[in-house]
Structure 1
Amino acid sequence: MNILLVDDEPPVRRSMARAIARAFGDRHRVDEAEDGEEALDMLERQPYDLVVTDIRMPAVDGMALSRAIAERYPDTIVVLLTGYADFQYAREAIRLHVYDYLLKPVSVDVLCELVQKIERETAERRRRTEIERLRLNDLLEKRVRDLFYELPVPYCDTALFPPFKTIAVLAFALPADAREDGFVRFAARNIVADVLSAWGTPVVVAEDLQLIAVLFISNATVPPPEQMAAEAARALKAYQCIDAGATAGLTVARLEDVCEAVRRCLEQLGDRHDPPEAALPDDAVHRLVRQAQAIIRAEYASDLTLAQLAERLYVHPNYLSTLFRRETGVTFSQYLTQVRIENAKKLLRETELKIYQICDRVGYTDQAHFSRVFKAMTGLTPYEYREQNASFSIERGDISDPAADS
């Protein structure tokens, strides 16, 4: 902790400083001031966790100092040094949230016990403050992600967004090795956030090989977004040798416009960073989408959901949904249905399994629903499809088909 001892009697100050040094070594920084006026000057230059001050001092006394600390530095703890005659100040001290009193002459044991108690409480307060900060930051990032996909922000969470006059949306393309290296993405996020914090309050989100930064700007005079993006890209190169292959930036005036700005930035990023059209056909599909398709083809018979798939690929479900549809032209659910029906057709052609067994094997629990979906996809019921395409002879009455009558 940073501790400030304030007393107009040098022997008293020095005695307390020596006692703290003997008890705690160099764990605490201890400074001294001879009166309240000097203490206020020191508080302006350096934050203090604990101020131990005498009440009776010339110029600015202990009560005036306590009042100023309560107004300007509410997180600083104040302990008063008092004599029996000074208890008339108790009511005022309570109003100023003074932490405790030490009775003169100060007992070394009492002083050290009090410092130790305040040290524990300060550490716990900081821990709780940090946890709350991380929780709010995490919630803010989730709400910013929701803006990417035009999801409604709960009214109770609108206060999470920092005050702003404009919003800058910036995008960065990371190198391919960042895909497997979580540290690279973590470092890149921190560097970009640190650079952008000079102009506002940034929220930086990593999505696969893209960084998307949303900067809430309250100052009217800031560089254009392209310049801010270039500054951040230079910092990535200088501090971590991360080469942002392309950058893009836009400014908007409303939270509602963030989604469109993100879309346009990612389009600009793609135009500047995507491989040429001459690449292999499979390379035309985003790596994440290829992975998602492979998982769907392998596990189509399970109760697979978009949320489960996104969690396994370490991306937001909304991001995966948007990317999947953009790359394939169909939704996750439509692709899963296509895969299930294609496998059902294969089983109908090549096996003598009952239709209810095939229904179960391709991931459906309701045979009637399976038959309706199958007919919608193929124009035939499962029974009709088997009749026309089976590689074996079919005996009438062998198969139950709930959709045959529909």
Structure 2
Amino acid sequence: MNVLIVDDEDTILKGLAALIAELPEAADGEIFSALNGSEALDILSVRPVDLVITDIHMPGIDGLSLTGTIRYRHPEIPVVLLTGYNDSSYMQQAIRLKAEDYLFKPVKKEDLASMFQRINQRISTDRKHGRFIREDQFDALAYPAKMIMACDLDEGGGERRSQLGNDEMILWMYRKVIYEAADAIEDIYFITASSALDGFNMLIGVGAETHEAADDKLNSLAAAIREFWSTSIKLKISFGLSAISGTAPFRALEKEACSALAYRIHQHSGIYRFASKAALPLSIQARTSLESAIEVGDAETILSELKEGLLRIFGGEAASPLPAVEELLQFLYAQLVKFYPSASIPLFNRIPKLTEKILWSRTKDQFVQLFLHEINSWLEAVVPDHSEYGIVALAKSIIHSRFSEALNVSEVAAAVYVSPSHLSRLFRARTNTTFLEYLTNVRVSEAKKRLADPKAKVYDIASQVGYSDWKHFSRIFKEATGYHPSDYRNRIVGMQATETDI
């Protein structure tokens, strides 16, 4: 049994983990830990969890809110609430939220063991007769024909989403419609998607005696869900169907289903079937340019060539981009290892991580961004000085060319394919300033140049250097120079304004 413990006190996390590790029900499973509700939801989106034990009193998303969210997103996962407060109101809320059990701190080992026995028995019973299973359990199903369907909500529909409420409400409706549609069809299974980006990524399996029966079941399910979702909910939804096999492992069928789902990137919302197609070969020119950039360690050009290669793939006729992207990835890996032999094993071990990241991409831009973000981390590991010089140099270039926009660290980080926190750390290490300080210095320097024009209005200059509010710009300028913009013009530049600035 895989267990997730959530508590804002690290000592309690470690203590509970130690107690649980001694229980026979947890002997073959993993124990995950989270210090708050947000961390817990992140873990639940990517890890197979059989039981959640959460403290009620936590900052941010507390245990009751977390339980409610789990009931919407992962209704198959039992939740046990943990608290040091003997308050009947919490008991009532726990019952309303369908919490599995309720324990008081400090937790006694015998109470924990008793709770685990009850829940393990319930989980075993549910799985025997239910539909929520793990990938290894799907592999163990003895059907002559099995299939996997990848189901996901498509991008867009912002106005309609606002009408329906927040994402939690939409996700609840999404799951409810799918589960109810599945009730009418036998041998349907819901499997945890370890590669999932969010709660809308669902993998649905089917077993049948014949290939035709398996195909009919998933097609009927997809059609029923899509019809209701499109007409009543009025948001777009897509499905990708794997090939049919009685022997192929779950992982292979999952990849086929997601590859079919990726057809939507070209052809928009729909129900798509996996079809094996030859990868689009890289042109000789593209191979030569990429190889040359790798040889000399030019990370910026490597990323640029890869982006061009991805855009060519999306511009081709192949419905699913995944086979062609894999061919591009294989060529990149071979060249990196050729020129940086020590990178062989570390990079090889990261290939599955990259494949998982891009499987559920909803748009071309998201696909490219996820791919290049991971490749950039590869280059940091193998190309000398890339993180210290290449990334920061490129970020600086973006700041100097786009300082007039409402620029922030997240946008620049996305453009250089790293996380905002990583870019912030690199920026401080390389420039001895924060990202915001550097951006502000660029804007103030540019404003100084424009203030040399006696006819230029301060509010116009503020807008031109990236500030929509001229009063805010004036405060920033004074903090940086010691003078208001008008005073700087008069006293530092030595020019008298010919007309009132504001």
Which category describes the TM-score, using the shorter chain as reference length?
A: 0.3 to 0.5
TM-score norm. by structure 1 comes to 0.39
Provide the TM-score with structure 2 as the length reference: 0.32
Q: Pick the structure with greater CA Rg.
A: 1
